[in-house]
Chain A
Amino acid sequence: MMARALSHLAPLLACLGLLAIWQAGSLMLNTESFPTAIEAVRAVPLILGDRESVINILDSLRRMAIAFAAALLFAVPLGLMMGRSRLVASFFNPLLMITYPVPKAALMPIIMLWLGVGDLAKMLVIFLGVSLPVIYHSFQGARAVEEKMLWSGAAMGLSAPQRMIRIVLPAALPEILTGCRTGLVLALITMVTSEMIARQSGAGNILFNSLDMGQYDTVYAMIIIIGAMGIGLDAAFEKLRSRLVRWSEPGFDIPLSFA
């Protein structure tokens, strides 16, 4: 019982520990640009209570949600087709190999020249950041689908497009969702960096504007807020994921009654 309670408390203790080290470090260094943890935490409700800031943060989340959804709609079908067709794979694979290592935020200035500094440019960068891992994992997942499972479906009368949607997609789902989880974190990162380069609105905008103005407690408070958003989104996604692929999890409880 004791050990279980402790393991539940562990993440909280880790966070408190980090804050304590921060607090001590900041007191020792005693420079203006490194506020204490208490000052930063105190600034969090001030930001969240400010109408302007909340609008900015919601703006960021809206862009992220749209770009993430668009990326899934594009990347999952592409990845699945690559996984089932050698031709499609040999066409797109080199393109992926070239674009994968390019930092998507580095494309931001170029994209801004075409699309301006508005929503579209930022969403495109997020879209690119999310697409690649999702394509890659969908590709791997589709490629690993057992041939005989598809044959069994074909014998039941499923056409090729039906097999894609009703066999390849569910069979590859655990792998696709692993890609989506990586994509979600990358979406958050590219969201903030895109707003760093094209400042106009958003969570990144608040962060870097306050950095320019020397409001360091706000800077650190925003880092805490963004970090919390990351944890929250990831936890929500993980909950959804484990529900969707319960059938593939290694050790889920076997019901004891055979009734």
Chain B
Amino acid sequence: MIEIDHVSQTFRTSGRQAHLALSDISLTIEDGAFVSILGPSGCGKSTLLYIVGGFVSPTEGQARVKGRAITGPGPDRGPVFQEFALFPWKTVLGNVMYGPRQQGVKAAEAEAQSRRLIEMVGLKGFENFYPKELSGGMKQRVALARTLAYHPAVLLMDEPFGALDAHTRTRLQNDLLNIWERDRKTVLFVTHSVDEAVFLSDKVVVMTRAPGRIKEIIDIELPRPRRRAELLLDPRYQKYVVEIERMIDDTSEDGLRP
């Protein structure tokens, strides 16, 4: 369980002014839940993810994982970034093996596991490629495999499909769901796409524009496993999308007020 307890985050801007990015966020994420954080750009949703990751410390409040205060990054929480952040000097296999090797897994075992993961994300045959030889979608598959390889209990996904074209994006969403259905890790998924949030999540957290506050938490009660083609025709799905889109429109207008 992840608990975010009255977390606020203030940044110093270059003009030495304090900018309130997150204001008094409290949120509890159950084990095995797929939760999306949705909001307009600049609402601090990525910052919230970084706080859970331990990459950024909150100015006020506390985040806890399994009851313990988060003081830094750890292999129990695996990030996947929009920028992929692969190690360009390592091959696909080298990247995926990196985490297990760091955790002390023997080379042969780490390699066998990593090869299975690479196959699972659909990149069999690309083990010896360098990241620069891969397309964006393939890079993100490697990044996902690299993170899954060290068995984090929680996946922290920071707009992971934001830089991909629509087609690739859809395929990766499907594949992510298939992988998630197998072991039901806790996923915290940051996105600005309403469709994506509704399609993937058990719960969507809608945030307001800066300073980021939680506007509403919506439970998505759609059956799993989800098939995109079926969902698109499902009136319940459509209702969620329209409802949340309206909410986002409201929060955007809030932001325009001086």
Contact = CB atoms under 8 A, between A and B. Distances in A.
Interface string A64-91: 0000000000000000000000000000
Contact of B73 (A154, A170, A254, A258): A154
A158 B90 CA distance: 16
Contact of A247 (B79, B103, B126, B130): B130
Interface stretch (B4-12, B23-31, B81-89, B201-209): B81-89
Contact of A155 (B53, B125, B130): B53
Interface stretch (A31-39, A143-151, A190-198, A220-228): A143-151
Interface in B127-165: 128, 130, 132-133, 146-147, 150, 152
A259 B102 CA distance: 28
B99 interface: yes
Given A154-B73, A247-B130, A149 B87 contact: yes
B203 to A, nearest CB: 23
B77 interface: yes
A11 interface: no
Contacts of B79: 148, 151-152, 155
Given A156-B99, A156-B150, A247 B78 contact: no
B111 to A, nearest CB: 16
Contacts of A158: 102
A126 interface: no
Contacts of A248: 88-89, 132
B85 A154 contact: no
Contacts of B132: 247-248
Given A155-B74, A157-B74, A247 B89 contact: yes
A255 B92 CA distance: 14
Nearest to A258: B125
Given A247-B130, A258-B126, A157 B85 contact: no
Nearest to A259: B125
Interface of B: 53-55, 72-75, 77-79, 81, 83, 85-90, 98-99, 102-103, 125-126, 128, 130, 132-133, 146-147, 150, 152
Interface of A: 146, 148-149, 151-152, 154-158, 167, 170-171, 173, 245, 247-248, 254-255, 258-259
8 contacts: A148-B81, A151-B85, A155-B78, A157-B150, A158-B102, A247-B88, A255-B128, A259-B125
The 5 closest A-B pairs by CB, nearest first: A148-B85, A154-B73, A258-B125, A156-B99, A155-B73
